[in-house]
Structure 1
Amino acid sequence: MSSSTTSPTSSKVVLITGTSSGIGLAAAVAAAKAGWRTVATLRDPGRADALRKAAAEAGVELDIRQLDVVDETSVAAAVDGVIADHGRLDAVINNAGAGHLGTLENDTVADVRKVMEVNFFGVLNVSKAAFPHLRAVGGRLITVTSVGGVVGQPFNEAYCAAKFAVEGYMESLAPVAASVGVSVSVVEPGAVATEFVNNVGLDPEAEIAAAGPYAPALDAYVNRTVAQFLTGAQTQDEAAAAVLEALTADRPAFRLQTSDWARDFTGMKLNDLDGSAVLGTTGGWVA
């Protein structure tokens, strides 16, 4: 159930998943500041303190609700509750997801399925439940993917596979959705401050010690990636600005990156017809 109500003067309603921290939290606050009635959802309502604090500091109100993207019953209850209480749903921002570090020999197939369940099927669960309501109002379906949805990255096979799947699904859906008045967009962040270590739950020494013959490559990858996240990452507010653009622009692009670095990185792949540019770059990360 909702923890607070939003201003009755705001007519459009957006539901956002994964708002306990990071881009989801920042996007929820930004959407509310832009005048949207914002339904901020998270798997564990007990982790909403940071969200409430950010909303209070910004002087906005959020409708905070429980939603577990991998639980179809939870998804249906949340979407039905929004319609019952607000009367409409104009936009969905799929943001919930989870990082994962591993490689083919060391991951189990069950590990990979879990990554796909959260990052791909969770997006489908929410999108499918919301879509009739978006279609009714000519709404927007926005999904936060990753530069890892365009460029495959070492030790991120499962995560990138899930994000590739999301990008392929949404790119294929976009023209079909447009035929019934729904706009589809994906937002591709690069490194966002603190996100890598926190979301993956990384214990670098333990991971490397357990990596067997892949230890040298994993050591090189972890050192390079942690350094990038600690020194070159953008803030969650900067990343959320691209999400807000997809939500509010008159004619949002299908694909939006959140930084110049993300544009350059994904552009390398989109112009790399034979794959040599990507593999030449990412191969250096594990050398």
Structure 2
Amino acid sequence: MTSPKTVLITGTSSGIGLAAALGAARSGWTTIATMRDTGKAQTLLKAAADHGVADRIQVKRLDVVDPGSIAACLDEVIAEHGRLDALINNAGAATVGTIEQMDLDDVRSAMEVNFFGVVATTRAALPHLRAARGRVITVTSVGGVLGQPFNEAYCAAKFAVEGFMESLAPVAATVGVDVTVVEPGAVASEFVTNLGLDVPALLAAAGPYAPALEAYIARTQQAFGTAQSPAEAAAPIIDALTADHPAFRIQTSAWARDFVATTLADLDGSAVQDLTSTWVR
């Protein structure tokens, strides 16, 4: 008998990653659900049991900013399952702030988690994906296509991921590996909650940027009031996982498609600037 296909997903303790792990397992995949802190696995494991897929989900530790952790996890997967058919890069962290007031270490940290973590994990997985003629699916963001106020570091990292994957895709295709990016908009998940933002303190420290930041926060809170659920955002990821030939770029909602279309069709950049300037005034 042919062994089930195996997918490794990063950042599965909550949100889109958790929902993607459940979706992959329901689709019959052996699902390696990874997270930096496996002590946070109980929510996923309970959901897996509730959905009747606990036997298809295996939790492993993987810290995307630690090459040793990535290598150890992949070695275990190959030793235990003999194959890796897909990688879903989902782990990430938001960063809110404007560059004049940010510590450069915070900018570097955003790049480490959101960009270099993706690069390192993809690089390590590619030999196994080549052998399986598999695929790489990376959760980016609409913020990887359209730069957003007070998200300079986060959007820079996500833009870098988009450029990296768009450049990798034709090369990977020559060795049988499909590459896809999935671009969610606002998602109601712990990704934002985990920021732990103290809004009054942020505004008090914002100095000349306080009016713009206040307008941005009000707009963003409204956007997240009508956000997709993690399961809705994960559904296109599972479609890309199971499709014969997934598209390179996929948005998770009609809103996200309309949003990124603003910049993809904006040759001189004016439409993006006209849009985002309304967020800060």
Provide TM-score, normalisation by structure 1.
0.95
* Equivalent residue number for residue 240 of structure 1: 234
* Equivalent residue number for residue 215 of structure 1: 210
Residue type of the alignment partner of 1:20: S
Secondary structure in structure 2 of the residue aligned to 1:200: coil
Matched-pair contact (CA < 8 Å) for 1:196–1:226 = no
* Equivalent residue number for residue 73 of structure 2: 78
Q: After the TM superposition, which residues 1-287 of structure 1 pair with which residues of structure 2 at under 5 Å, given as runs? A: 11-61=4-54, 62-195=57-190, 197-230=192-225, 232-287=226-281
Bigger Cα displacement from structure 2, 192-201 vs 14-23? 192-201
Deviation of 1:271 (Å): 0.3
Q: In 2, Cα distance between the equivalents of 1:192 and 1:203?
A: 20
Q: In 1, Cα distance between the equivalents of 2:99 and 2:228?
A: 30
Secondary structure in structure 2 of the residue aligned to 1:142: strand
Note the aligned Cα RMSD (angstroms).
1.1
Secondary structure in structure 1 of the residue aligned to 2:267: coil
> How many residue pairs are counted as aligned between the two chains?
279
Uncovered stretches (5+) of structure 1, i.e. residues with no partner? 1-7
Secondary structure in structure 2 of the residue aligned to 1:220: helix
Secondary structure in structure 1 of the residue aligned to 2:171: helix
Secondary structure in structure 2 of the residue aligned to 1:39: strand
Bigger Cα displacement from structure 2, 99-108 vs 159-168? 99-108
Matched-pair contact (CA < 8 Å) for 1:197–1:226 = no
Q: In 1, Cα distance between the equivalents of 2:77 and 2:201?
A: 43
Deviation of 1:93 (Å): 0.1
* Equivalent residue number for residue 4 of structure 1: none
Matched-pair contact (CA < 8 Å) for 1:242–1:258 = yes
Q: In 2, Cα distance between the equivalents of 1:128 and 1:196?
A: 25
Residue type of the alignment partner of 2:130: R
Secondary structure in structure 1 of the residue aligned to 2:76: helix
Deviation of 1:199 (Å): 3.5
Matched-pair contact (CA < 8 Å) for 1:75–1:129 = yes
Deviation of 1:251 (Å): 0.8
Secondary structure in structure 2 of the residue aligned to 1:159: helix
Secondary structure in structure 1 of the residue aligned to 2:32: strand
Stretches (4+) displaced over 3 A: 194-197
Q: In 2, Cα distance between the equivalents of 1:186 and 1:285?
A: 26
Provide TM-score, normalisation by structure 2.
0.97
Deviation of 1:21 (Å): 0.2
Identity across aligned pairs (percent)?
Answer: 67
Q: In 2, Cα distance between the equivalents of 1:170 and 1:78?
A: 22
* Equivalent residue number for residue 3 of structure 1: none
Secondary structure in structure 2 of the residue aligned to 1:102: coil
Uncovered stretches (5+) of structure 2, i.e. residues with no partner? none
Q: In 1, Cα distance between the equivalents of 2:37 and 2:251?
A: 28
Residue type of the alignment partner of 2:197: L
Residue type of the alignment partner of 1:58: H
Instruction: From the superposition, tell whether residues 26 and 111 of structure 1 become closer, same or farther in structure 2 (CA, over 3 Å).
Output: same
Q: In 2, Cα distance between the equivalents of 1:239 and 1:203?
A: 27
Bigger Cα displacement from structure 2, 163-172 vs 241-250? 241-250
Matched-pair contact (CA < 8 Å) for 1:196–1:229 = no
Deviation of 1:208 (Å): 1.1
